Amino acid sequence: MLDELVCARQTYEAAIQGQGAFGEEAALRLLPQDSDVITCAGLEGVFGAVNDGTARYGVVPIENSLTGSFHQTYDLMFDHNLTIVAETICRIEYALIGLPGAQLRNIRRAYAHPLVLAQCEQFFHRHPSIEPVSIYDPSAQMQNVLNGGDPTRATIATECGTMKTNAAVLAHSIQDRPENSTRFLLISKPMEMVRLQTIHYKRTIVFRIVNEPGALCRALRPFADHSIDVAKIESRPVKGSPWEYMFYLDLIGRADYEQMHSAVEELRRQALSLRVLGMYPRAEFS
């Protein structure tokens, strides 16, 4: 019976974090247009769907050009044995979404993820009567707004995300700056390493070092010695060890680059732990 249930379960091509967010657009960029996509409640749901085999891939945000890193994504990458296999960059444009017939002048609350609210601060300055409210499941909140029947409530989402609903767009392009963009990762269970010979590759690693003066400087020295471009560095707290940190690095270099391998192995010898989270083609902004 268990085998029958497993065989009957649909396997989706990708999992994303709800409708109304840019994960759907990112999935269309990263995967075939006819891919089956499942929407999940929160980032934990996306990672869980990939981890248990419900979806082959997950599409998760990692960094916004205005508000910085999605820290939860970094933490979930560490907690799960999954691999980054691709990335893409989406230009971000938000709209205020409400019930059909609702009027902007009557809106009193707008719901969105805290990082989305941070990208729309000028809109709230121009409309002080609208209270920004933080939520962590945009898809569920859109349904709450549409099903609640309250014309004073709205949510912030993408206009394309409203096409599958009966929602109304109350204000267009409410993000603070036109160059607002978010980088998304395509994650999967560990797969074969890439073999394309191109310099436009990233290798993402996470490591932990001893907590002593000069340790981080020594950890980064191999990349300087081997002329490796460190595109990004991010620190996250070590759970259970207050004021100690893990460090995430995005490294630029060809997939078969011997200098890259040497630098990473030199770091591995001095680190308390080191894990390669993925090696994948570097996205170009367009």
Structure tokens at 160: 């394309």
Using a 10 angstrom Cβ sphere, with 0-12 exposed, 13-18 middle and 19 or more buried, the burial of residue 4 is exposed
Catalytic-residue membership of 182: yes
Structure tokens at 36: 């089956």
Q: Single out the catalytic residue among 70, 123, 184, 207.
A: 184
Count Cα atoms within 13 angstroms, Cβ side, for 36.
7
Q: Single out the catalytic residue among 39, 158, 182, 204.
A: 182
Task: State how far Cα 193 lies from the chain centre.
Answer: 22
Structure tokens at 143: 């349904």
Tell me the residue type at 235: S
Using a 10 angstrom Cβ sphere, with 0-12 exposed, 13-18 middle and 19 or more buried, the burial of residue 244 is middle
- How many angstroms separate the CA atoms of 205 and 200, rounded? 17
227 phi-psi bin (left φ>0, alpha ψ -120 to 50, beta other): left
* Residues 272 and 200: beta-carbon distance below 8 Å: no
Encode 215-227 in three state secondary structure: HHHHHHHHHHHCC
* Residues 248 and 274: beta-carbon distance below 8 Å: no
Catalytic-residue membership of 285: no
Show which residues are catalytic.
182, 184
